Amino acid sequence: MRKLSISCAALLLSCGASLFAQKTGVNTKNPQGALHVDAKKNNATTGVPAPADADDDFIVTNDGKVGIGILSPSTSLHIKGATPPGAIRIEDGNQGAGKLLVSNAAGVGTWTTPAVTRAVVKGVFPSPATSITTSSPFTGTIYAGQYITLGPGKWVVSAGITLKSPGSSNMGWVHAYLSTNTAVKQQTGFTHLGPAGNNTAYAGVLYGSFLTYVTGNSFISGNSLIAVTGTSPVTIYLLIEKLDYTYNTSSPQNYFYAVPVN
């Protein structure tokens, strides 16, 4: 009989230890999950702690969910913010006002500035204004005197320029280009994303002055989707294909700007 009593006591002790091992409490004798930390030691000793008392708690439930500030997490990680507002703070070196947390293909997250919060960038025109007249030989390009500086990312760059032809023999198809060099076409630090790649150009017809209804004026315009690569801003210049014309940088129709797209 005595041996039976000892065996029963040992069994009860073993069962009690097993049940106790299922829940571990830190600063609480009333753990609500496999691991429950009550940082402020403000939970009730019986029953389920009030939601306000759980604001400082950390829990791992029996089914593996993690709760911070909440004792009944509904997802793998459930965070309930308290005062002051802001339940999550991630500092990876890229954080900043207005940024979004995005992930790569592997699910690794980082802060980035979305296009919707980035400002349109206006190109810089010569000051004071000037007139640029091309001369023979009509080959290569000439710098239009305007430039724009863009940070990393994708941009739609829009340009419009007014050219005036002095004679009727100078009609033709004329192009304008984005370049990182004022002397020759060059793309360093950015690429065109359109079907023509780095051969992309703005274009229009240069009219002769005998067409009185247009008084020899021509308008060259277009849009180009580009990607500024790397981590530093790039200054991009506008070059115009040489033909016989005069370009007045202060013409009211002229424009040069870029809109961020991501």
Using CA atoms, how far apart are residues 166 and 246, in angstroms rounded to an integer?
Answer: 8
Examine residue 140 and state whether it is found in any structural domain, yes or no: yes
Q: Rounded to two decimals, what is the model's pTM?
A: 0.63
Q: What is the pLDDT of residue 11?
A: 46
Q: Are residues 255 and 133 in the same domain?
A: yes
- Count the domains in the chain: 2
Examine residue 199 and state whether it is found in any structural domain, yes or no: yes
Domain that holds residue 233: 121-260
Q: What is the pLDDT of residue 7?
A: 52
Q: Are residues 142 and 219 in the same domain?
A: yes
Which parts of the chain sit beneath pLDDT 50?
Answer: 1-2, 4-6, 9-20, 212
Predicted confidence (pLDDT) per residue in 178-217, tens digit: 999 999 999 999 999 999 998 999 999 887 655 545 567 8
Q: Which long-range contacts (CB under 8 A, 24 or more apart) does 49-54 make?
A: 54/80
CATH number at residue 177: 2.60.120
**What is the CB-side half-sphere exposure of residue 117 using CA atoms within 13 A?**
8
Examine residue 38 and state whether it is found in any structural domain, yes or no: yes
Examine residue 48 and state whether it is found in any structural domain, yes or no: yes
Examine residue 154 and state whether it is found in any structural domain, yes or no: yes
Predicted confidence (pLDDT) per residue in 144-185, tens digit: 999 999 999 999 999 999 998 876 556 778 999 999 999 999
